[in-house]
């Protein structure tokens, strides 16, 4: 049987990039870590890590064992959580990676109500762009990720998915509101534009759509903050791209308006809740997942304007009532 301690040491060496840094983190002598990893390599008959300029990296066999280690830990945690659940869901931990665009929806009510219902469960919420959030799920650093327009990844599984188009948000009296239907990216390019950083699903979608349309979008402002983008539009400086639910309160207050954009990449955008494929979820994570699936507006239904269109209300430029 493979040593769980040796597997844990191997994971930390690869995660930290060196035996020395892993030893400092684990508060264990470096020679003990090296000895355990050598023993593991002798047991399996192949090298598990190798030195590169950037530090220690896992070999293909090393990655297989690290993945086995994480799955083993997840299965053990899930089993223990189910034993605990026999006496009532009184304790546990849930780690969630989330983009800034989901935060207002997350903390408005669902997070509060979940914590009130399960006072013994600890929550950890980590802010991350879509690429980082997916990496955190793949590396077992978080249990769940709220993702906007993620690229396909066979290592992840989606538990909830809704259609949340990436729209253009504009000041209340903006000339683009006079357009009868969705606007083109060429029309958007004529106005002062703010854009989010490249690490987000929003930016990656816009870049892909602009590339297909052969439109050059030159943002006057670049930022990693959704709040900065909102203020850019509210102040009347210009326009930006954002899902409707990220700015739902501003729309209701009439501080900004929404204009659909004519491109399938943007209009077909999805939001999803994802976890690591094959990872057994604990009872606490399953309870949180179900709570988010029912309580978050992003995942309980498609974007409000899409629901309005299905009901025959076509004027997407009006504020949400």
What are the domain boundaries of the chain?
4-68, 91-163+270-302, 166-269+306-310
Same fold, 91-163+270-302 and 166-269+306-310: yes
Helical H runs in 242-315? 248-252, 264-267, 283-295, 297-300, 304-310
- Kindly tell me if the per-residue pLDDT of 230 is higher than 90: yes
Residue matched to tokens 């670049």: 222
Distance CA(62)–CA(39), nearest Å, equals 13
Q: Which of 100-104, 154-158, 182-186 has the lowest mean pLDDT?
A: 100-104
> Pairing state of beta strands 166-170 and 156-163?
unpaired
Which tens digit of pLDDT belongs to each residue from 123-151?
999 999 899 999 999 988 999 999 999 98
Statement: the pTM of the whole predicted model exceeds 0.75: no
pLDDT band at 87 (very low <50, low <70, confident <90, very high): low
pLDDT at site 133 = 94
Average pLDDT for 182-205 = 92
Mean residue pLDDT across the chain: 87
Helix, strand, or coil (residue 125): strand
Give me 143's structure tokens: 């249990």
- Kindly tell me if the per-residue pLDDT of 320 is higher than 60: no
Torsion of CA 198, 207, 300, 290, to 10 degrees: -40
Q: Is 3.30.420.40 the CATH classification of the domain at 4-68?
A: no
User: 145 φ, ψ to 5°?
Assistant: -135, 135
pLDDT at site 318 = 39
The span from the first CA to the last CA of the chain, in angstroms, equals: 62
Give me 281's structure tokens: 């979820």
Average pLDDT for 77-99 = 73
Looking at domain 91-163+270-302, its CATH superfamily turns out to be Periplasmic binding protein-like II (3.40.190.10)
Nearest residue to 227 via CA among 249, 209, 211: 249
Distance CA(176)–CA(191), nearest Å, equals 10
pLDDT at site 29 = 87
Looking at domain 166-269+306-310, its CATH superfamily turns out to be Periplasmic binding protein-like II (3.40.190.10)
Angle between the N-to-C axes of helices 19-26 and 30-44, in degrees from 0 to 180, rounded to the nearest 10: 120
> Pairing state of beta strands 257-259 and 166-170?
antiparallel
pLDDT band at 317 (very low <50, low <70, confident <90, very high): very low
Average pLDDT for 264-292 = 92
Which tens digit of pLDDT belongs to each residue from 240-257?
999 999 998 899 999 999
């Amino acid at each position: 049987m493979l040593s769980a301690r040796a597997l844990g040491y191997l994971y930390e060496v690869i995660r930290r990039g060196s035996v020395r840094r892993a030893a400092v983190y684990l508060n264990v002598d470096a020679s003990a870590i090296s000895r355990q990893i050598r023993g593991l390599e002798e047991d399996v008959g192949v090298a598990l890590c190798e030195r590169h300029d950037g530090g220690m990296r896992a070999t293909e066999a090393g990655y297989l064992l690290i993945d086995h280690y994480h799955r083993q830990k997840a299965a053990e945690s899930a089993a223990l959580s189910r034993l605990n659940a026999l006496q009532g869901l009184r304790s546990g931990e849930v780690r969630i990676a989330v983009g800034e665009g989901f935060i207002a929806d997350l903390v408005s009510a669902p997070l509060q109500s979940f914590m009130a219902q399960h006072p013994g469960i600890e929550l950890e919420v980590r802010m991350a762009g879509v690429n980082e959030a997916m990496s955190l799920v793949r590396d077992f650093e978080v249990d769940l990720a709220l993702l906007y327009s993620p690229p396909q990844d066979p290592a992840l599984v989606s538990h909830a998915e809704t259609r949340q188009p990436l729209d253009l948000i504009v000041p209340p009296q903006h000339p683009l509101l006079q357009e009868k239907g969705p606007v083109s990216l060429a029309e958007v390019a004529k106005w002062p534009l703010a854009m989010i950083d490249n690490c987000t699903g929003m930016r990656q979608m816009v870049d892909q759509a602009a590339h297909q349309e052969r439109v050059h979008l030159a943002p006057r402002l670049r930022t990693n903050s959704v709040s900065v983008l909102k203020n850019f539009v509210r102040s009347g400086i210009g326009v930006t791209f954002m899902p409707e639910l990220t700015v739902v309160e501003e729309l209701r207050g009439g501080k900004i308006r929404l204009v659909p954009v004519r491109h399938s990449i943007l209009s077909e955008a999805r939001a999803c809740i994802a976890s690591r494929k094959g990872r057994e979820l604990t009872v606490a994570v399953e309870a949180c997942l179900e709570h988010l699936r029912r309580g978050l507006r992003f995942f309980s239904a498609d974007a409000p304007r899409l629901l309005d269109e299905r009901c025959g209300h076509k004027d997407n430029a009006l504020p949400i009532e």
